[in-house]
Amino acid sequence: MMIQSLHIDHYQYSLPQTMIPSYPLSNRDASRLLYYNRGEIVDKNFKDLPALIPSGAMMIFNNSRVVPARLFFNRESGAIIEIFCLEPIDPADYTLSFASTSSVIWRVIVGNKKRWKGDKISMYNPQKNNLISNIQLSAQYVKDEGDTCIVCFQWHNNLSFAEVLDICGQIPIPPYLHRESEIIDIERYQTIYANLRGSVAAPTAGLHFSPKVISSLKDKGIKLSEITLHVGAGTFKPVKEEMVMHHAMHHESFTVSLSFLEQLLVHKGEVICVGTTSVRCVESLYYFGLMCCLGREPKQLSQWEAYRDALPVTREESLEQLITYLKKQQCNTFSAKTQIMIVPSFVFRWTSGMITNFHQPKSTLLLLIAAFMGDEWKRCYHHALQHGYRFLSYGDSSLLCPSA
User: pLDDT tens digits for 171-211?
Assistant: 999 999 999 999 999 999 999 999 999 999 999 999 999 99
Q: How far is CA 144 from CA 79, 117, 141, 250, 272, in A?
A: 19, 12, 8, 18, 41
Indicate if the alpha-carbon torsion angle 333, 60, 372, 341 is positive or negative.
negative
User: pLDDT tens digits for 250-267?
Assistant: 999 999 999 999 999 999
**pLDDT of 139 higher than 90:** yes
Q: Characterize the bridge pairing of strands 148-154 and 103-111.
A: antiparallel
Q: How many angstroms separate the CA atoms of 167 and 137, rounded?
A: 11
Structural domains present in the chain: 3-66+189-401 (3.40.1780.10), 70-169 (no CATH)
pLDDT the model gives residue 404: 58
The vertex-236 CA angle with 3 and 13, nearest 5°, equals 65
Quick one: average pLDDT of 315-328? Answer: 97
Q: How many angstroms separate the CA atoms of 303 and 154, rounded?
A: 34
| pTM: predicted TM-score of the whole model, two decimal places | 0.94
Q: What are the helix (H) ranges across 154-245?
A: 161-168, 183-188, 211-219
Helices 276-293/364-373 angle, 10° precision: 80
Q: What is the CA radius of gyration of the chain?
A: 21
Q: How many angstroms separate the CA atoms of 225 and 261, rounded?
A: 10
